[in-house]
Structures are given as structure tokens and as C-alpha cells.
Amino acid sequence: MVAWPDPERMRDIAEADVYKSGRFAGTLRRERDDIVFRYAEAYRADTDAPQVAFTLPKRNGIFRSTGGSVPAFFAGLLPEGARLAVIENFFLDMAAACGIRVPDHRLATDRNGQTALFVERFDRVPGPGGVRRLAQEDACQVLDRYPASKYRISLQEAIIGLAEAVQAGAGSRRSAVLHMLEIAAFSYLIGNGDLHGKNLSIRQAPGGIWEVTPAYDLLTTQPYLSWKDPMALSLFGRNNKLHRRWWLEAAERLGVPARACDRSLNRIIEAAEPWIDRVIEIGFEEEWSKRLAALIAERRDHLRQPS
């Protein structure tokens, strides 16, 4: 997976290379308020090299867009903010239905038709003198790794690191492991390929005891990654085709009885069933809705079947 530069700093990027099927095809460059896409000469001259997009025919060679925006084709490669809000809202609702703790959340649309997702912060609680801040650390932090390593740890390292920190903070290691396995199994189910070392966290609850935070950043990444995005972190060497037996064995290796994991998986499988047909509510184009429903149904079978 790509580590994107800080979005704030992306505003300062003046030039970017454009690749078509892995081949260098041209450049996007800022020119005052305009952004110009220029085909590379060699690419343009090669009659076998396809145009980058329908709206970017090679014969023109240069395309200028004004007002600081990229040509529409490039803008269309990015998921829209509103769409992302709807997707995440859907999967937070689904996770809650599956018995996974999530923060309170709500979709809202303003009078200009802009949709946003409001999510309650789990690192803040009302206190006597105003808002009280709770300590929170993600897996990279407890493992003393920098954010850039968020894809370079294993899922079991993340889970063990956080669960041991919970235990050191007077909390239950076992329920922490189980909770994180549920988040991971749910992520697998929905095709969330971005469960990395900064997407699992623990916090010090108001009473002082440490626990896993409600789940966050839960959404499917499949439609954006060719429908074959594996898990971001592998679980005991596997990042795909995670059948039931794999989860049960992982649980035991992590010190949780297989029967506890068994109950969690049953609960998730059962509760997830009616959500498969509901993916249409997200509003993807029909083809994507069908593929996503099929993917979730297939993975649900994986969670159900021993191997």
C-alpha cells in the first residue's frame, strides 16, 4: 500500500508523473492557477500506447484546467468525501449490529447538500470542569514504532502489543485480544484492507483502567483496489483467505480460548447476513454493489467454514 504524503503538503507539490498501466505517460504541472496535463513525447508517439482517458485524447497533447483543479478525469479517480462518509457510516452501523463497539455517529447534510459524518470522540468525556482528555495509544505507539511503519508490523504483533499494554494498565488482556480479533474478522468480512498499526488503539477509560477503544476507520477498500485488496497486516503469515480455523487457531495462540472466538464469529456471521443485500444502500453503481455483496457473502462463508 502507498504511504501518501501529508495532505497539507500535497498543496505544495508542483508536478506529478502520470502512469497508464504502469507506463510513464505524461505529467501534471501547476502553472499559476492552472494545472496542465502534458503527454510525454515518447508515449504520445507510440501508436500502441492507449490514451490516458476518453477525455484526454493523444492528438491534443496538452490539456489545461483552470482554478487550481486537475482535469476531471484525475479528480474522478479519488473517492468523493461525501461518498466516503456514507460508506463509513454504513459499515459502522453494520459493525454495531455485529456486536462490535463503535463510537456514536451520524450522517448529516447541510443546506448546500454537503454530506458529512459526525463521529463522537472516544478520547474525550465530559468531566466536572469541562471536557476530560483520556490517554489513547495505537499499536505503533505501544510498539515504539513510527507512523511510517504502520504497514510493517503483523496483526498479531499489534494485538499482542496492545493487549499487554491493557494488562499493564489493569485491564483484561483476554477481552482486549477478543475485541481486536472481532474488529479484524469484521474487517476481513467487509474487505477492509486498511487495518494497519494506527487503526487499532487502546485508551484509559475514565475509571483509570485501560481497554480497547471503539472501532474506527472501518470501511471496505475493495472497489478502489481492483477487488483484490488483502488485509493490510498479515495474521500469522496470512493476509487473505482467512477461514474460520485460522481465526480460531490465532485466538488460541494469542491466549484466548477457541470457544470464545467461536462465539464471536458466530455472532458476527449471523448479524452480518441481512447487511449483504443492504450494501445497495451505499449508492455505488449497480456493478459495484453486486460485486461487494458477492465479496462479503464469500468471506462470510470463509468465516463459517473450517478451512
Min dist. Cβ of residue 122 to ligand ATP (A): 4
The Cα–Cα gap between 156 and 90 comes to 27
Look at residues 281, 254, 85 and name the one whose alpha carbon lies nearest to residue 182: 254
The Cα–Cα gap between 125 and 104 comes to 13
151 touches ligand ATP (CB under 6 A) = no
Q: Which of residues 82-111 bind ligand ATP (CB under 6 A)?
A: 103
* DSSP secondary structure letter of residue 135: P
> Using CB under 5 A, which of 141, 156, 187, 199 touches Mg ion?
199
Instruction: From residue 144, give the alpha-carbon distance in Å to each of 5, 117, 198, 227.
Output: 21, 31, 12, 33
Residue linked to cell 487495518: 195
122 touches ligand ATP (CB under 6 A) = yes
| Chain mean position to CA 132 | 28
Lay out the site mask for ligand ATP across 5-44 (x = CB under 6 A, - = otherwise): ----------------------------------------
192 touches Mg ion (CB under 5 A) = no
- Residue 27 or residue 234: which is nearer to ligand ATP going by CB? 234
What are the residues whose beta carbons fall under 8 Å from the beta carbon of 263, sequence distance 6 or more? none
73 touches ligand ATP (CB under 6 A) = no
> Using CB under 6 A, which of 121, 133, 290, 304 touches ligand ATP?
121
119 contact, one of Mg ion, ligand ATP, none, CB 5-8 Å limit per kind? ligand ATP
217 touches ligand ATP (CB under 6 A) = yes
SS3 labels along 15-83: EEEEEECCEEEEEEEEECCEEEEEECHHHHHCCCCCCCCCCCCCCCCEEEECCCCCCHHHHCCCCCHHH
Min dist. Cβ of residue 249 to ligand ATP (A): 28
User: Residues touching ligand ATP: how many (CB under 6 A)?
Assistant: 12
> Using CB under 5 A, which of 157, 217, 249, 262 touches Mg ion?
217
The Cα–Cα gap between 284 and 55 comes to 23
Binding segment for ligand ATP among 21-29, 154-162, 175-183, 196-204 (CB under 6 A)?
196-204
- Name the residues that contact ligand ATP, by CB under 6 A: 103, 119, 121-123, 138, 194, 198-199, 201, 216-217
